[in-house]
Amino acid sequence: MTRHAVLDSPVGPLRLVCDDQATALTGLYLTDQRHQPDSARFGTRDDTVLPAAREQLNAYWAGELTEFDVPLTTVGTPFQVAVWDALRKVPYGSTCTYGDLAAAVGRPTAVRAVGAANGRNPVCIVVPCHRVVGAGGVLTGYAGGLERKRFLLDLEARA
């Protein structure tokens, strides 16, 4: 049975969703995030699940953690999974463009498809889709809203 925990954060409440065994993070959603599943799919609330994910997120907010290592289980098309894997390689405090990400997955002309996959990332923050910017460094596109994206980039820039 799927369960979820809610964690307060500087960008608002986060919903952390786990797999049936409560061993892997399958979703991390911001309030009002676009492209999130129907909340009925999150199962019952249980704030005791995913303690490592909650601890790591709190350390991230405190500027003490630059790389997450919680177990993840993401479900998507092979292309989406490749984009999400490439996102995890974008270093903390850095950004890349959608074109850079398209090249990293071996599809340099698939910039729009990369943007769509990025927007459907089911594990925001941990899989750092906020580190992707438009050409020339323009702040664009974030399923959680540009204000949150700016906050996350500023948080990482301070470390």
Residues 6+ apart with CB under 8 A from 50: 5, 16, 18, 22, 25, 70
Q: How many CA within 13 A on the CB side of residue 105?
A: 27
* Cβ count near 4 (within 10 Å): 23
Whether 129 sits among the annotated catalytic residues: the reply is yes
Map residue 5 onto helix, strand or coil.
strand
How many residues comprise the chain?
Answer: 159
> Residue 89 in contact with residue 38, Cβ under 8 Å?
no
Which residue out of 18, 96, 124, 129 is catalytically annotated? 129
- Catalytically annotated residues: 129
